[in-house]
Amino acid sequence: MVDKVFDTPAAALEGLVENGMTIAVGGFGLCGIPEQLITALRDTKASDLVAVSNNAGVDDWGLGLLLQTRQIRKMVSSYVGENAEFERQFMAGELEVEFNPQGTLAERMRAGGAGIPAFYTRTGVGTLVAEGKEIREFDGEPYVMERGIRADLALVKAWKADRSGNLIYRKTARNFNPMVAECGRRTVVEVEEIVETGTLDPDGIHTPGVYVDRLVVTTSEKRIEQRTVLAD
């Protein structure tokens, strides 16, 4: 059996990162992001990256770290409203952005992982989202064609894994991670705990280990994106 467990995030990325590659990243806001792998990716100094992720993190965490260092050339996202540096680069024409409806983005990654090159959806018909894309009619209704996404590298956060790479996510931290794991040609996962193969209940596994190439145990900071307090 191939040993998928690496000692550090940097070691887990070694030999996989190149300039200009497309990288899919799990998470929703700061929930379920592979934060230590993102930091390790920043430290590689890889440039001209295309980042596929629901959002761009915040200014000083998540993918916001890669925006600070100008390592991202293009973002493929559905929500980017919490990052001032993203806004500045976008408005200045320094960052290419491809906006996707959230469900469409999730399905594009799932389809890419399933070997489906394209699919049709009603979402976005008649809007800017459909500009330049093929439109076909099914049962009297127009549908826009969307391409599946196949990333060169996928970075994923899971709660628990076995040594074969079978993954379990924790509650809402699952979010985009399963689709991201599936769409990567190579998939690297940071987890909070690794157990021996055969320990996990097969019915409770969310992502099979066949999708996972490398694992690393990390300690997450689990920052709070939006903090609300009651006044005295």
Residue 153 lies in a domain: yes
CA-angle at 190, arms to 188 and 195, nearest 5°: 105
Give me the phi and psi of 136, to 5 degrees please.
-130, 155
Nearest to 72 by CA among 140, 23, 8, 29: 23
Residue 36 lies in a domain: yes
Tens of pLDDT, residue by residue over 8-46, are 999 999 999 999 999 999 999 899 999 999 999 999 999
Residue 41 lies in a domain: yes
Question: Is the model's pTM score more than 0.85?
Answer: yes
Q: How many CA atoms lie within 13 A of 16 on its CB side?
A: 23
Tens of pLDDT, residue by residue over 180-224, are 999 999 999 999 999 999 999 999 999 999 999 999 999 988 788
Quick check: 24 and 156 in contact, CB under 8 A? no
**What whole-number distance in Å separates Cα of residue 85 and Cα of residue 59?**
6
CATH number at residue 42: 3.40.1080.10
Quick check: 82 and 225 in contact, CB under 8 A? yes
What DSSP character marks residue 84? H
pLDDT of the residue at 224? 81
What is the tally of structural domains in the chain? 1
Residue 132 lies in a domain: no
Residue 99 lies in a domain: yes
Close Cβ partners of 5 (under 8 Å, ≥ 6 residues apart): 163, 194, 214, 215, 216, 217
CB neighbourhood size of 112 (10 A) = 23
Which class for 119: exposed (0-12), middle (13-18), buried (19 or more C-beta within 10 A)? middle
Residue 123 lies in a domain: no
pLDDT of residue 2 exceeding 80:
no
Q: What domain range includes position 73?
A: 5-115+149-217
pLDDT of residue 1 exceeding 70:
no
Residue 124 lies in a domain: no
Q: 3-state DSSP call for residue 21?
A: coil
Q: At 177, is the pLDDT very low, low, confident or very high (cuts 50, 70, 90)?
A: very high
What's the whole-number mean pLDDT along residues 63-80? 96
What's the whole-number mean pLDDT along residues 84-109? 96
Quick check: 158 and 177 in contact, CB under 8 A? yes
What's the whole-number mean pLDDT along residues 77-87? 89
Q: Which helix (H) or strand (E) holds 195?
A: strand 193-195
Tens of pLDDT, residue by residue over 46-64, are 999 999 999 998 999 999 9
Residue 226 lies in a domain: no
Q: End-to-end CA distance of the chain, in Å?
A: 58
What's the whole-number mean pLDDT along residues 63-70? 96
**What whole-number distance in Å separates Cα of residue 120 and Cα of residue 143?**
6
